[in-house]
Amino acid sequence: MGDDSDVTTGDAAGGVSDGVVDETGSDVSGAPVGGLDWRKQLVAGLITLAVLVVVFVGIFPKFANYGDAWASIQQMSIGSLVALGLATLLNIVVYVFPYMAALPGIRFRDAFVVRQTSFMISNAVPAGGAFGLGVQYAMLAGYRFTAAQATSAIAVTSVWNMLVTLALPALGLTVLIVDGDANRNQVVGSVVSLAALVLIVVVMVVVLRSEGWARRLGGWGDAVVHRVRPSTAPGTVADALARFREQTYDVVARRWGPLTLTNFAQQFSQFFVLLVAIYGLGGRSTGVNPAEVFAAFAIARLAGFIPVTPGGLGTVDAALVGLLSAFGMSKDEALAADLLWRAATFVPQVVIGIVTFLVWRVQAARRGSSRPQPAGAT
């Protein structure tokens, strides 16, 4: 999402092999984890490129002026740039905490390597989920975590990130209501988003209550899916929910508090980067207050759920610039704020992710070379 999304989506909640994975990304039988379909990779890459061209080359130049946006950025003070750098550093550090909450016992440095590498793959590689998921399993195996522990951490991190992202619009619009800046449509939107969140939480509670309830709810889901796709195998949804419960129940029961706190902290650290960027561009003189900035940020994050580009590149940006402008920010400054936010939350983590991936490969090679060779090996 140009944000926190990593390769914990898709098959993370079910359908992931429980085979033992080594540092090469293969299970003990030698089968690769998460095989890649290069045709899908190519199509996904072309779609990503098309969306980026449409948004950044087609829409934004008609909506705002890149030259004026860059001029606004150049006028930022040294103090504002330093504050933006510190906010960026804070965001990178906080990004590790949800993984530590989902996987008790993992060291910060190991969690840092896993999170930054997965961010790089999922946000910089079109349709990189399959490859990134296999890399996460291989990394955690190298850090002596079992496949079951890895599956639980990946699934829980993904689900909690989704829940908190869905909670943000309700929270953002509630802040606007308290601040007195919300209109009727925004109040209705707040109620709808809050109701959707409550519904999802209720479903989660029912699924985790017992395997019987998970399968009962899954049975209703199978009935709906069968109406839409009659060819779907019976029990697909029920089996997935039962498997999800088995994988995540223990962690959720013991760690729901830290999971919620760290995922909110992760989201707020990204908002803080945006807020620092806007205040560096002029603060209240830009025409928006912190409540409006938070509401724009929270609603724009939902565009990241549109599975078109890695990390919501383009889609989140278009929504954010449009919402900031709707709240009163000039179009050029809204574009400048988005470019600063995207650069601060995306580029550093992608670069760091490349470094952590290389570091992990070196560590894996050293571990492999230090293993005792079987008799007769050359």
Tell me the mean pLDDT per 10 residues along the chain, length 378. Answer: 45 32 36 49 56 56 58 80 94 94 91 91 69 82 86 85 85 77 66 77 79 77 76 74 74 85 94 92 76 89 70 76 87 87 87 90 74 48
The pLDDT of residue 190: 66
Where are the domains positioned within the chain? 10-366
Cα–Cα distance, 84 to 93 (Å, whole number): 14
Note the pLDDT of residue 94.
Answer: 96
How far apart are alpha carbons 126 and 36 in whole angstroms?
12
- What is the pLDDT at residue 278? 92
Q: What is the pLDDT of residue 262?
A: 94
Predicted confidence at residue 282, as pLDDT, reads 77
